[in-house]
Amino acid sequence: MSSDDYSIRVNGLGKCYEIYATPRDRLKQFIIPPIQRLVGYEPSSYCREYWALENISFDIRKGEAFGIVGRNGSGKSTLLQLITGTIAPTVGTVETRGRVAALLELGSGFNPEFTGRDNVYLNAMLLGMTHAEVDERFDKIAAFADIGDYLDQPVKTYSSGMLVRLAFAVQVQIEPDILIVDEALAVGDALFQKRCFGRIEKLLSDGVTLLFVSHDQESVRTLTNRAILLKGGREVTMGSASQVLLDYRKLLHQEESAYFAKLMQPAAEKTPAAASRGETSKAPQESEVAELQGNSQSVTEAPALAGRADQMSFGDGGVEVLAVGTFGADDEPCAVFYPGDVIRIRVDCISRIDTDCINVGVRIRSREGIKIYSWGTLNQDMQVLSGLREGDLFWKRQLKAGEKFHVWLECDCSLGSNLYEIQASISYEAKPDYSAQRILHWKDEAAFFQTLMRQDEYFFGGITDLHMAARW
């Protein structure tokens, strides 16, 4: 990348905070170490260092959409504050080129005693607009915010949703070169979010650089090209948005598995002691099973998949996806379908343990990475349990160690022309309602298929067929 081809350049960035046990220690740190240095002694320290961010480096090209993902406390907001200049780095440098518009905290820069109208002028002028420019664009700002008569009420009376409406409306009207969004859109209603994403896409098409932070993985996948994953203030991985999000899901799964394994450890330690006292152990109650999200057999005997060579898979192990294939109505392998065809998906599996409470499912994503549909055997079991259909429960099926089995999932093709990816998963469901789930095996890019149109016979636009009809 040439020196003139970037909007944001971050090099060796780090932010360290000093943590004090008491206010007295803060005062000691302020007075005693400078005196010790003056008299030639090694200075004492009355605080501990906390690195909220450490050794982060990346470049973002002009017009690029870049995502930042990670759990709460991973350093995402600290990184954005350093980039916008609201806090100073301890080490490293940040360079930005162009006008920056940032939505970091709800209502940041707003005076709670002023009205919404007054805050529009105040905020816009702080961002570099003149009073005349605000006058010219005020109607557009008010229309986008769409808060009605509240525009002339004090901001302290606003809900969080109204605050972000007004803040976003101001930021996008200053025509930024760099737009930074940090979870701010999560509080808006569905219609406002749609309007915001539409505006963001318009800015991207105009060459604006986007730095986007969200826990909504589908939004990150759809809006951004590249991303970085943070954990504990450090970079875990950086690359294409789809690959980083896969690594993010693996990270979440590993942390969740470690958490539940820790929960189960005290129960496992108590069992031998109870037996030595001659006590009879009781079966765990349903609420306990739901809390632990799995049985001890699966945890202790199942080989984990998180470290396997297949980078597209993760899970606790125990039951695995061997292969996934797509077939036509005649049970012949088929990878191209037309509207009205039957799509049959076969998931071949093997169980390494004795278990039940299993769900085999798939997720279908478009070429753009948008989730189209997800469904599994547990969805059908839930219909049976609620009396909406008849049949046996796959959830109650007893699987034996070494047993191979397969599941057929089928539907009518109602998808628009595109290439689709099938992700396959096997999960342990402590309860038959998805409320206590543990992933045993998840496989990205398990299979692909394509849908086409016979345009002279049956045609529609979009991602799915709504089977619309006309009347007159």
Collapsed DSSP state (helix, strand, coil) of residue 212: strand
Does residue 279 have a pLDDT over 50? no
User: What distance in Å separates the CA atoms of residue 397 and residue 407, rounded to the nearest whole number?
Assistant: 12
Collapsed DSSP state (helix, strand, coil) of residue 293: coil
Tell me the pLDDT tens digit for each residue of 97-150.
Answer: 888 877 766 556 688 888 988 988 888 887 778 888 888 888 888 888 888 888
User: What domains can you pick out in the chain, each with its CATH number?
Assistant: 6-246 (3.40.50.300), 301-451 (2.70.50.60)
Tell me the pLDDT tens digit for each residue of 184-234.
Answer: 666 566 667 777 777 888 888 888 999 998 887 878 888 888 999 999 899
Does residue 21 have a pLDDT over 80? yes
65 neighbors 223 (Cβ within 8 angstroms): yes
Tell me the pLDDT tens digit for each residue of 417-469.
Answer: 989 999 999 999 999 998 888 899 999 889 999 999 988 888 898 889 998 99
Does residue 181 have a pLDDT over 50? yes
Higher pLDDT, 180 or 161: 180
Strand ordering across the sheet containing 100-103: 100-103, 178-182, 209-213, 65-69, 226-231, 234-240
User: What distance in Å separates the CA atoms of residue 437 and residue 291, rounded to the nearest whole number?
Assistant: 10
C-alpha 224 chain-centroid distance = 13
Maximum Cα–Cα distance across the chain: 96
Tell me the pLDDT tens digit for each residue of 69-86.
Answer: 998 888 888 898 899 888
pLDDT computed for residue 369 by the predictor: 77
Confidence of residue 311 (pLDDT cuts 50, 70, 90): low
